[in-house]
Chain A
Amino acid sequence: SQQGEEDPQALSIQEGENATMNCSYKTSINNLQWYRQNSGRGLVHLILIRSNEREKHSGRLRVTLDTSKKSSSLLITASRAADTASYFCATSNSGYALNFGKGTSLLVTP
């Protein structure tokens, strides 16, 4: 079932700018994950944040989680053309499966 909902659906920025994507979900979670998908390819795991964490960093990525608002944000700093891709949030509760949103399509132009 689909739980995460990314916003915006599409985002276009220039190289060097920051990109922020948001994710909202509906039910309680154990963790929330962000994935990147280049056109026509599989998904690549970027970062996982647990329900008891509020912020996490990995390189140029910063993820926040607000469980009271059931929302998360992914910030990519100093964007590069190679960051052009679709970004998905996925939530995990007590089960084995991840529930994915529809994704944000990011275009970074030189």
Chain B
Amino acid sequence: SQTIHQWPATLVQPVGSPLSLECTVEGTSNPNLYWYRQAAGRGLQLLFYSVGIGQISSEVPQNLSASRPQDRQFILSSKKLLLSDSGFYLCARTSGQGIGYTFGSGTRLTVV
């Protein structure tokens, strides 16, 4: 099983509050893990990816950070949320390059 667990499914947070979204994955060890954000009516924007524990690559400079404390755990964080952080956040995994991704069910974040 390559299942991905994401929670919560929905989240409403005030501007300036912190954020922590967690993603845990099952299946083969040492997966590549990804955080994508999808704004309304738009495609997916890659935020971070990780090829191993403690290894984080940032694709877009922004108000967010990511960490990978364990092989199958990927966390997206913010110290102070902005209105522009609202969106649908998706965690994904793949076991290598050139292979289809498995996505989690996503977290709908609304910053108010």
Listed in ascending order, the chain A residues whose CB lies under 8 Å from chain B are 1-2, 4, 30-31, 33, 35, 40-45, 48, 50, 88, 90, 92, 96-103
Task: Name which of B13-21, B39-47, B76-84 contacts chain A.
Answer: B39-47
Contact B97 A96 (CB under 8 A): yes
Listed in ascending order, the chain B residues whose CB lies under 8 Å from chain A are 4, 6, 32, 34, 36, 41-46, 49, 51, 57, 59, 88, 90, 92, 97-106, 108
A44 to B104, CA, bound (A): 9
Residues of B within 8 A of A30 (CB): 97-98
Residues of A within 8 A of B51 (CB): 96
A101 to B90, CA, bound (A): 15
State how many angstroms separate the Cβ of B98 from the closest Cβ of chain A: 5
Contact A100 B43 (CB under 8 A): yes
Task: Give chain B's interface secondary structure class.
Answer: strand
Excluding A2-B45, A45-B101, A102-B43, 14 further A-B contacts by CB distance (< 8 Å) are A1-B59, A2-B43, A33-B101, A40-B88, A41-B106, A42-B4, A43-B44, A43-B103, A48-B98, A90-B101, A96-B32, A96-B49, A100-B43, A102-B42
Contact of B105 among A4, A42, A96, A103 (CB under 8 A): A42
A35 to B104, CA, bound (A): 13
If A41-B106, A42-B106, A97-B59 touch, whether A50 touches B43 (CB-CB below 8 Å) is no
State how many angstroms separate the Cβ of B75 from the closest Cβ of chain A: 18
If A96-B49, A96-B51, A102-B43 touch, whether A43 touches B98 (CB-CB below 8 Å) is no
If A92-B98, A97-B34, A97-B49 touch, whether A42 touches B44 (CB-CB below 8 Å) is no
State how many angstroms separate the Cβ of B108 from the closest Cβ of chain A: 7
State how many angstroms separate the Cβ of B88 from the closest Cβ of chain A: 8
Contact of B99 among A42, A48, A97 (CB under 8 A): A48
Contact A33 B46 (CB under 8 A): no
